Amino acid sequence: MSAIVKVQDVYKKFGDNEVLKGVSFDVRKGEVVAIIGQSGSGKSTALRCLDHLETINSGSIEVCGHTLGTGKVDLHKLRQDVGIVFQSYNLFPHLTVRQNIMLALKHVRKLPKSDCLVKADYVLKKVGLSVKADCYPEQLSGGQQQRVAIARSLAMEPQVMLFDEVTSALDPQLTGEVLKVIEDLAAGGMTMILVTHEMAFARRLADKIIFMYEGLVWESGGPEILTAPTTRELQDFVGTGL
């Protein structure tokens, strides 16, 4: 199956700090890819480049048919095809859960209100939060807010979903809630790239694991690389129990 995401020899600098030093990887349609590594290894920067939240200095990225780094990116279309969920939920506090989801459907996809309502209720059911549709974010737990953030991205019907350490601010019980939603999406065939510290989850769910170290893809392969790493750096990382 052809790749829906192609990252080739990508470099990214912030001032004099070179964060990505020639990163390359592919993701096929329907694959779940986990990117792991120490803080500062470049994994979140690599993820943000896929949604053009960061521009690359050199190399090439193709995502869902969009070529990034050329200066001619249709961001409106790109962000319909690529959804991203962050550690922070970024929900509007003055809007209900349903209204938070409907906002982009109305203003970005230009759907009529009746269609926005149907779509919002559908994705809320998908993440198990139908009963919270009329609540405000402050009335929800952290795990519930994160599930709303996922539902909001799903409502745009993206081809690829990106998750940037979405459970790192949650306690273990709430983490389990969010990971269950991601697991259900994987079972439904959603293409996903996750930056995560949840090693057990990555081992169980990911088709491919990418270990980044000092701005490079240091080692990649199936979940077996976590139990039989071939580099000292991944051995040390896995040995920390992160």
Q: So where are the chain's domains?
A: 3-239
Q: What pLDDT shows up at residue 242?
A: 44
Low-confidence ranges of the chain (pLDDT < 50): 241-242
pLDDT for res 240 = 57
Sign, CA dihedral 95-97-98-102, equals positive
pLDDT at 76: 84
Indicate if the alpha-carbon torsion angle 124, 130, 135, 137 is positive or negative.
negative
Vertex 177, ends 174 and 179: CA angle to 5°?
110
Measured between alpha carbons, how far is 89 from 20 in angstroms, rounded to an integer? 26
pLDDT of residue 75: 86
pTM: predicted TM-score of the whole model, two decimal places: 0.92
* Tokens linked to 61: 């990225």
pLDDT for residue 102: 96
Question: What pLDDT is stored for residue 171 in this prediction?
Answer: 85
Q: Model confidence over 109-131: pLDDT tens digits?
A: 889 999 999 999 999 999 999 99
Contact assessment for residue 127 and residue 113, using Cβ atoms and an 8 Å cutoff:
no
**Topology of domain 3-239, CATH:** Rossmann fold (3.40.50)
